[in-house]
Amino acid sequence: MTDPAGTPIPIGSMVPLTGPASNDGQEFRNGLSLAAEEINANGGILGRPVRPIFVDSGEQTAPEIMHAIRTLIGEHRVHAVINGYNIGAQNSEYEVVADAGIIYIHHNTLLQHHDTVMSDPERYFGCFMGDPAEYWYGQGFIKFLSWLRDSGQWRPRNRKIAIVSGPKPYSIVIANAMASASPQFGWDLTFRPRILRGVPQDWRPLLEEVRAHDPAVLANTHYHASDLARFQLQFTERPLPVLLYLQYGALHRSFSSIVGEKGRGAIVGTVIGLPRDELGQSFAARYKARYGENSTPEVGCQPYSSLHHYAVAASVAGGTEGPGGAARNRRIARVLMDLPFRSVVGTIRYHPKWQSAVPYPDATQDPSLGMPHLFYQLQDPDAPPALVAPTPFADARFELPPWLV
């Protein structure tokens, strides 16, 4: 049954509005809302406006996510669910989405998405990950390091790399991927990735243990901004002579506001970010104009891009449909796969098997066919982080961290 013309299309979104990721949750809500406003200002999807419906995913545990997805599908009869990340449900929500036959685009950045989708592509036709899997952080970082070394921008003291992982699957996968790629690129592991059982308040004993191994590189794949800030402050008390890599959370404003000048020199990466090209800058300006100078378009851009992509695909496919409308939604899924979309985060091109965005330069050599894996270096605490790789997106040069000069 098709809804009458002009009726709003309900689009669900599971966002962590409370709990430790609530800062990101607010931005995810803002990003989706801004996309909806822009789509509706242009006439919506074939004349029907989209109406976002947000449900709090709290601490992103499996029960919370299951409750959220059931609410969106069962009560609100949403035609699609589009959100940022929710880490912790281990894809339990895919079953509900698959049973309803709707479209679900998230940015969980998890390799387990590949596994679930490939285990039964027919059933999970509607499940998409709008960014690359966290696995690529590992491989990409090792290539980044090797590029710094081979291009002479940095001369490592030795070939040793130390990897410390937080206890979450995301961090473990990244650490394992770094470890497995290292030998091919001429790096030796000082020890197998150290997977922490729990996150320490005091990182110093671990740092001293690492110091005893004398590595040239230290990577910490834990991602919570506040934990990383504590780590960074303790690191700078007595810096190790290493190139330091911190996972995604160190890009957060909260990280730089805590560590300030002490963050200078650290490398941070993201497989989905906001390139500083014309599209990225224009979006950032619109976003800040709408949500204030302190808002973070670098996070809001995720669901923003995917809702726009969905709207294009749904229009090409002839419209949307809610739970039970698998036939129509399969057409939308096919268009999402077939039609790469140059969004503000770079190109969203879904891999035909993984149903997740292909990363550049990790999995494609063509920047027009992949989502850029961006490498930043924290330099001036009062300015946005310097984007040092890859070309053609980079707008700054790598500098030796102060503790290595």
Partner 1 sequence: MADAALAAFAALGHGLALWSADGLLVTGNPAFHRRFDCFGGEVPAGTAQTGLLEAAERSGLLVRSTPAQGAPETLLEARHMLGGRTLIFSDGMVARVESWPAADGLVVTLFADVTEAKRSERLLEKARDAAAAADQSKSRFLRAANHDLRQPLASLKILIYSCMAAESEEQRQETLHAMDVSVAIMEELLGALLNIGQLDAGKVEPNVQTFQLSTVFDRLRVQFEHQAREKGLDIRIVGSRAAVESDRVLLERVLSNFVANAIRYTETGRVLIGCRRRGQMLRLEVHDSGPGIPDELRKKVFEEFYRIGDRQQDRRHSLGLGLNISQRLAEMLGHEITLRSAVGRGSCFAIDVPVGDVWHSHIGEPEINERIGGEFAGLSCLIMEDDAHLREALIRLLERWGIVVTTIEDFTRVEEAVADLDPQPDIIITDYRLRGGVQGTDLVNQVNDLLNMPCPAIVVTADTSPELIAGIRAQGFPVLIKPVSPPGLRVIMHNMLFEPELVPELT
String of contacts with partner 1 for each residue 258-297, x by CB under 8 A: ----------------------------------------
Nearer to partner 1, 195 or 337 (CB): 195
Q: Is 22 in the site for partner 1 (CB under 8 A)?
A: no
Q: Is 176 in the site for partner 1 (CB under 8 A)?
A: yes
Tell the smallest beta-carbon distance from residue 287 to partner 1 (Å). Answer: 30
Nearer to partner 1, 182 or 320 (CB): 182
Tell the smallest beta-carbon distance from residue 73 to partner 1 (Å). Answer: 17
Nearer to partner 1, 188 or 395 (CB): 188
Tell the smallest beta-carbon distance from residue 263 to partner 1 (Å). Answer: 26
Q: Is 206 in the site for partner 1 (CB under 8 A)?
A: no
The residue from 118, 285, 289, 400 that contacts partner 1 (CB under 8 A) is 118
Q: Is 337 in the site for partner 1 (CB under 8 A)?
A: no
Tell the smallest beta-carbon distance from residue 172 to partner 1 (Å). Answer: 4
Nearer to partner 1, 297 or 361 (CB): 361
String of contacts with partner 1 for each residue 26-45, x by CB under 8 A: --------------------
Q: Is 241 in the site for partner 1 (CB under 8 A)?
A: no
Q: Is 200 in the site for partner 1 (CB under 8 A)?
A: no
Give the SS3 label for residue 264. Answer: coil
Chain centroid to CA 78: 24
Q: Is 119 in the site for partner 1 (CB under 8 A)?
A: yes
Q: Is 139 in the site for partner 1 (CB under 8 A)?
A: yes
Q: Which 3-state string (H, E, C) describes the chain?
A: CCCCCCCCEEEEEEECCCCCCHHHHHHHHHHHHHHHHHHHHCCCECCECEEEEEEECCCCCHHHHHHHHHHHHHHCCCCEEECCCCCCCCCCHHHHHHHHCCEEEECCCCCHHHHHHHHCCCCCCCEEECCCCCHHHHHHHHHHHHHHHHCCCCCCCCCEEEEEECCCHHHHHHHHHHHHHCHHHCCEECCCCEECCCCCCCCHHHHHHHHHHCCCEEEECCCCHHHHHHHHHHHHHCCCCCEEEECHHHHCHHHHHHHHHHHCCCEEEECCCCCCCHHHHHHHHHHHHHHCCCCCHHHHHHHHHHHHHHHHHHHHCCCCCCCCCHHHHHHHHHHHHHCCEEECCEEECECCCCCEECEECCCCCCHHHCEECEEEECCCCCCCCEEEECCCCCCCCCCCCHHHC
String of contacts with partner 1 for each residue 365-404, x by CB under 8 A: x------------------------x--------------
Binding footprint of partner 1 on the chain (CB under 8 A): 62, 89-92, 94-95, 111-112, 114-116, 118-119, 133, 135-136, 138-139, 143, 146-147, 149-150, 167-169, 172-173, 176-177, 180-181, 183-186, 195, 197-198, 353-354, 361, 363, 365, 390
